[in-house]
Amino acid sequence: MQLLIDFGNTRIKWATEDTGVLQFGAGAVYSEALLEELFEHWWGECSTPDSIWCASVAPLACQQRLEHWCRQQWQQPVRFLTAVACQQGVTNAYTEPATLGSDRWAALLGARHLVTGSVAVIDCGSAITVDLLDADGVHQGGYIVPGLWMMQQCLQERTGRITESPALPGQLTPGDSSVSCISHGALRSVTALLDRLMRDLPVGHRQLQWLITGGDAPHIQPYLEQACRAVPDLVLQGLVCVAQNND
């Protein structure tokens, strides 16, 4: 049994893989102070995994606490995924391959496994990333923009008179308060960008298939003009590919 962990900036989720079957475990927004409590709740009674794989963009201190907990609990190291020049049929576009986020790399590996042909991955996390992969598995680069919460927080941190917490956006209509104006504006900004990309890119990327993942995907996908396939566990599926081949 393999334990697979997607450790983001604000959320962590995990799954297990056994004899080719991916079984989603759980996911949660985490706080650094309560990580060990969360690990104990999730895995305190789990049998020892054969290996532990993690795609992480979490702070180094959080990664170290995960590593320490797993060694204490199971005497097992955590294998943190790092992007490389070529893996599982995917060629990295970055001139310094390791600087591509491991979550984006895992998502590309998962997309390559799921889709035949050109594919684009939209990952809606703390930041929103878009990555393009051609039919031969060659990464064509991508885009990074602030996510819904990050966009709102940046505005509110620079606007001292707005003291309310960022709101979860749910509409594109004009807001009727400063908070709703910011939240609706963030959603409209993100969807406008993605809609424009989805209109423009297929011209040079024929039969491009769009996948969407990440914690904020359910809040964004309903407002996109073009259909895209929701794959909530895409990063974990990419980790499965790595774990099964022990790359």
Q: How far apart are CA 188 and CA 149, in angstroms?
A: 13
Q: How far apart are CA 52 and CA 50, in angstroms?
A: 7
How many residues can be counted in the chain?
247
Q: How far apart are CA 129 and CA 139, in angstroms?
A: 14
Given the residues 103, 123, 216, 233, the one annotated as active site: 103
Q: Can 6 be counted among the known catalytic residues?
A: no
Q: Which residues contact 232 (CB under 8 A, 6 or more apart)?
A: 213, 217
Q: Which residues contact 196 (CB under 8 A, 6 or more apart)?
A: none
How far, in Å, are 74, 77, 109 from residue 68 at the CA level?
Answer: 10, 8, 27
How far, in Å, are 44, 85, 202 from residue 91 at the CA level?
Answer: 38, 6, 20
Q: How far apart are CA 184 and CA 148, in angstroms?
A: 10
Residues tagged active-site? 103
